[in-house]
Amino acid sequence: MRRIYFILFLLTVSGIVFGQNERKFVRNGNKLFMEAVRDTMKVDTVKYINAETEYRKALEKRPEDLKWNYNLADALYKQQKFEDAEGKFTELAEKMEEPVERARVNHNLGNTQLMQEKLDESIESYKKALRENPDDLETKYNLAYAQMLKKKKEQQDKQNKDQNKDQDKDQNKDQNKDQNQDKNDQNKDKQDQNKEQNKDQQDQNKDQNQQNQDQNKDQNKDQQQKQQPQQNKISKQDAEQLLQALQNDERDIQNKVKKAKAAKAKRTRSEKEW
């Protein structure tokens, strides 16, 4: 799936004679690269680093050489320097003249982007590669894989969003419930406090009323006790008046008795004269 195309361009004489150093650098770079590729048991980072060094030495002589830049980009990719490799493949994608070469560059560019989880960018690079070479099965597979990862990521993002939404909803619900509970508890405490205060006030009023009643009762009792001796005690003037009235009554009674006796005696004499 993640097979990366690479092109190792060996130096040949085709009308232009290159310097001995340039041929040496590229030849050494190709040798190190191929040794690292053949070692399927591990990724020989050291050899890829050395290959990169040799390619850069050659590019110091000819920096615009597309073939050497391509090999350098491959060496960067093998070292997992995906950002550097992406930059180099991006430059090459605009400069390659042959469709097959552009397809290979865009394929490898998609690989570097995929390794960085740049799914949208990698999908676009694979599509560009397939427009140049529609029959490339490896690119089709990588495109399908990137699209699958994107769909899975979108589903995961949606699931996380829904989960966060539910969590926020539950959190708000719990928070509102707690707030309402706290409010109810506060109201209940306040009601209990008011009830207790009212009860205390009622008890105080009751005690005050009882105290007032007892005080009034004691005052009335004291007043009665003070007034009773005064009522039993008679003044001298009242006593004299009472005595005078009794004497007058006694005289009236005696006068009535005398008159009755006189009248009786008179009737007796008259009867005898007859």
Domain ranges of the chain: 20-155, 176-230
Q: What is the pLDDT along the chain (274 residues), one digit of tens a residue?
A: 445 544 444 333 333 334 456 655 555 545 454 554 444 344 557 888 888 888 898 889 889 999 989 999 999 998 889 999 999 999 999 899 899 999 999 999 999 999 999 999 999 999 999 999 999 999 999 999 999 999 999 999 999 988 888 777 777 777 777 777 777 778 777 777 777 777 777 777 777 777 777 676 666 666 666 555 444 455 667 667 766 766 776 677 777 767 777 776 666 555 444 4
Query: Is 20-155 a domain of CATH 1.25.40.10?
Result: yes
Contact 92, 24 (CB under 8 A): no
The string over 58-92, giving b where at least 16 C-beta atoms fall within 10 Å of a residue's C-beta and e elsewhere, is bbeeeeebbbbbbbbbbbbbbbebbebbbebbbeb
Residue 177 CB partners (closer than 8 Å, separation 6+)? none
pTM for the model stands at: 0.52
